[in-house]
Amino acid sequence: MCQRDVEKKLKMARPEIDESLAVIKSICDIVPPSVEVHEGALELLDRYQLSWYDALIVSAAIESDCETLWSEDMHNGLLVNKSMTIRNPFDC
């Protein structure tokens, strides 16, 4: 996806995107795609019927010892590996 496509999809100019990402990076841990994250994602794929990219996100969250993963498009309320719950922040 090129820069113009991202700006169009997000309805934000590049400086706004950069500023938003800077804030996110300042308050979030960044987990690189390690071998452990990939292996964990492979285990999660079939067990929880996740897409590959969702499985990578969930695996990285588990590697970071997250108790809650906030996502508006994953399985709300799903308890993963008895240690982390996926929650939709827009589900009241």
Same domain, 9 and 52: no
- Comparing CA positions, the residue from 46, 42, 26 lying closest to residue 34 is 42
pLDDT band at 2 (very low <50, low <70, confident <90, very high): low
The answer, as to whether pTM is greater than 0.75, is: no
Question: Does the residue 16 lie in any domain?
Answer: yes
- Residues ≥6 apart with Cβ < 8 Å to 42: 55
Q: Do 39 and 83 belong together in one domain?
A: yes
The pLDDT of residue 4 is 65
pLDDT of 40: 95
Does residue 55 lie in a domain region?
A: yes
Q: Are residues 16 and 46 located together in one domain of the fold? A: no
Return the pLDDT at 84.
96
Position 69 in a domain? yes
Report the sign of the C-alpha dihedral through residues 21, 25, 31, 33, in that order: positive
Question: What six digits make up the tokens of 27?
Answer: 């308050």
pLDDT-derived band at 92, boundaries 50, 70, 90? low
Percent of the chain residues past pLDDT 70, beyond the cut: 88
Domain count, the chain: 2
Enclosing domain of residue 23: 1-27
Alpha-carbon distance 26 to 68, whole Å? 19
